[in-house]
């Protein structure tokens, strides 16, 4: 059987649209102390973690401070794909029974939910020095990703005999199998009290961070390059899957954050910070393997390859959210600190991903056909979170206790959700403890985030099935899917160590 050559040209279109979901939301807070308080560490963050939460808090520091922190986040996600899955109108036009096709796929998925649980490290390393002049502190810090990593399992090479059964047992393969997002931030921050000697304004502290950031993504998917209706071996034939590896790395780019903290009355502080929108414009690569049935035909007749792929370079352009934080904290010195915070994330900025192939051609029976620009619609929405947390200081320096809670609705509309980027309404609770000896503080914390399960019945995440190279048509959406998840982080995952002098 010879496949329609145009099928392969659409493999890369689908790959780029699916893999560009790498940009996304943040899973948890940065830093053990901030995480232990449920992220309610905005009003007066007297730590180098102020580089992340509110740079005005740097001005609370005196002398030399060094802080090293590592959090390990484990994210458990279970995904169950359901039907309807095929395009009923297209099925009817070609004389197929869409109900029968859906029943076949439903039976295939029923006993094959998939799960992912991988550890995501979030490091933080900072150094700063507080001067007496205007309570000025200058700090330098580097911190890592607080975004996603999913690993749903492995698939054997397409020509191995066990590939078909393994692929049929992995219904998520058209969205993502391995996904890893990397983010590195390097920030230079300053915080100071500009009106230290002015009675009404002496409680005002301001700060800012100029940061460079670098982000990248690795993702592997298997993409169905044919309509469910064209294969004699049934819908979603794994023999027509095209394995895709997508990678991009952002060159060093600049972003910024500003913040303020004001002591309204003694021991009552109000604070806010704002981080600008990030615009990512970078280059990457997409590597396409031919489907097993095409490989088989090419091997059978190597003198007449149906399809080969030339080139692999693409440009990627997308935007991620600006973030606004506000917090109100009351302190009873030597006894406790309590804060309520509200965080807004403007994920409506992530409305689309534009992928521009630079030199990719499909050579079909000796004739090259160039791949054009791909636009992947995202249409995420703004979200917010409410955070409550605090510290019990009465036993310090020998023992400090922390606790926190937060609630955050998802930024991803249900109809735009898929296994490559799982975000659900979530509740988080956290506990932490610290001890200080000879100027060295050791902190540990544990946070558990429960995500509300979701059943998606009107998915807009569609496959792209070709009718021709120039004019692909959309194949059925994902149909329905049930997703549940949780994240947890804690000892020995989240130690924080700081030295002060």
Residue 470 neighbours by CB under 8 Å, 6+ apart: none
- Residues of the chain with pLDDT > 90: what percent? 35
pLDDT score for 226? 46
Cβ-in-10-Å burial (0-12, 13-18, 19+) of 72 comes to middle
**Which tokens sit at 150?**
């999913």
Spatial CA neighbour of 97 closest among 205, 235, 292: 235
d(CA 199, CA 268): 16
User: Are 443 and 432 spatial neighbours (Cβ–Cβ below 8 Å)?
Assistant: yes
User: pLDDT by residue (tens digit) across 293-333?
Assistant: 766 655 445 445 566 778 888 888 888 889 999 999 999 99
Strand 313-320 relative to strand 367-370, pairing: unpaired
The residue among 109, 206, 141, 75 whose CA lies nearest residue 488 is 75
Tens-place pLDDT, residues 432-470: 999 999 989 999 999 888 887 777 777 776 554 333 332
- pLDDT per residue over 420-431, tens digit each? 777 788 899 999
Find out whether 282 and 250 touch, Cβ atoms under 8 Å: yes
pLDDT for 471 equals 29
Which of 89-103, 120-134, 253-267 is predicted least confidently?
89-103
Who has greater pLDDT, 321 or 106?
321
The residue ranges of every structural domain in the chain are: 6-500
Mean pLDDT of the chain: 78
CA distances to 24, 266, 362 from 464, in Å:
22, 61, 17
pLDDT tens per residue across span 208-244: 999 988 777 776 666 655 444 556 666 777 877 777 7
pLDDT at 501: 28
Nearest-5° Cα angle at 17, 252 to 7: 135
Quick one: 362 exposed, middle or buried, by C-beta within 10 A (0-12, 13-18, 19+)?
Answer: buried
125: its two tokens? 């390393």
Share of the chain above pLDDT 70, in %: 77
Q: What is the pLDDT of residue 131?
A: 95
* Domain spanning 6-500, CATH class: mainly beta
- pLDDT at position 22 over 50: no
**Does the pLDDT value for residue 477 go beyond 90?**
no
pTM of structure: 0.82
């Amino acid at each position: 059987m010879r496949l329609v050559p145009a099928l392969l040209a659409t493999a890369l279109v689908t790959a780029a649209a699916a893999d560009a979901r790498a940009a996304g939301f943040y899973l948890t807070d940065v830093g053990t102390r901030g995480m232990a308080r449920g992220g309610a560490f905005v009003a007066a963050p007297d730590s180098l973690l102020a580089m992340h939460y509110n740079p005005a808090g740097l001005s609370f520091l005196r002398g030399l401070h060094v802080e090293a922190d590592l959090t390990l986040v484990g994210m458990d996600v279970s995904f169950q794909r359901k039907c309807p899955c095929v395009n009923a109108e297209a099925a009817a036009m070609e004389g197929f029974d869409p109900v029968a096709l859906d029943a076949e796929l439903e039976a295939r998925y029923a006993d094959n939910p998939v799960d992912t649980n991988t550890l995501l490290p979030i490091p933080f390393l900072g150094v700063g020095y507080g001067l007496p002049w205007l309570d000025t502190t200058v700090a330098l810090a580097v911190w890592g990703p607080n975004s996603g990593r999913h690993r749903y399992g492995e698939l054997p090479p397409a020509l191995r005999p066990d590939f078909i059964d393994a692929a049929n047992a992995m219904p998520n393969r058209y969205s993502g199998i391995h996904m890893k997002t990397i983010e590195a931030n390097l920030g230079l921050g300053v915080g100071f009290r500009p009106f230290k000697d002015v009675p009404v304004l002496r409680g005002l502290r301001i700060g800012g961070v100029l940061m460079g950031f670098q982000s990248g993504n690795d993702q592997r998917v298997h993409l169905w390059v044919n309509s469910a209706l064209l294969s004699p071996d049934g819908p979603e034939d794994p023999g027509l899957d095209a394995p895709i590896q997508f990678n991009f790395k952002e060159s060093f780019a600049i972003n910024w954050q500003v913040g303020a903290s004001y002591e309204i009355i003694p021991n009552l502080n109000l604070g806010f910070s704002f981080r600008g929108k990030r615009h990512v414009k970078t280059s990457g690569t997409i590597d396409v393997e031919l489907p097993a049935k095409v490989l088989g035909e090419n091997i059978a007749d190597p003198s007449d390859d149906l399809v080969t792929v030339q080139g692999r370079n693409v440009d990627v352009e997308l935007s991620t959210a600006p973030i606004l934080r506000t917090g109100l904290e009351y302190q009873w010195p030597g006894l406790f600190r309590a804060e309520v915070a509200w965080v807004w994330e403007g994920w409506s900025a992530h409305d689309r991903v534009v992928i521009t192939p630079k030199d990719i051609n499909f050579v079909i029976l000796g004739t090259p056909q160039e791949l054009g620009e791909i636009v992947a619609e995202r249409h995420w929405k703004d979200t917010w979170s409410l955070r409550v947390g605090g510290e019990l200081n009465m036993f310090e320096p020998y023992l400090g206790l922390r606790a926190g809670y937060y609630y955050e609705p998802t930024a991803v509309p249900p109809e735009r959700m898929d296994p490559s980027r799982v975000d659900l309404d979530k509740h988080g609770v956290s506990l932490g403890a610290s001890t200080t000896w000879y100027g060295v503080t050791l902190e540990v914390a544990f946070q558990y985030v429960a995500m509300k399960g979701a059943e998606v019945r009107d998915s807009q995440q569609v496959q792209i099935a070709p009718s021709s190279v120039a004019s692909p048509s959309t194949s059925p959406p994902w149909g329905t899917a049930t997703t549940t998840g949780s994240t947890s982080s804690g000892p020995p995952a989240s130690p924080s160590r700081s030295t002060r002098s």
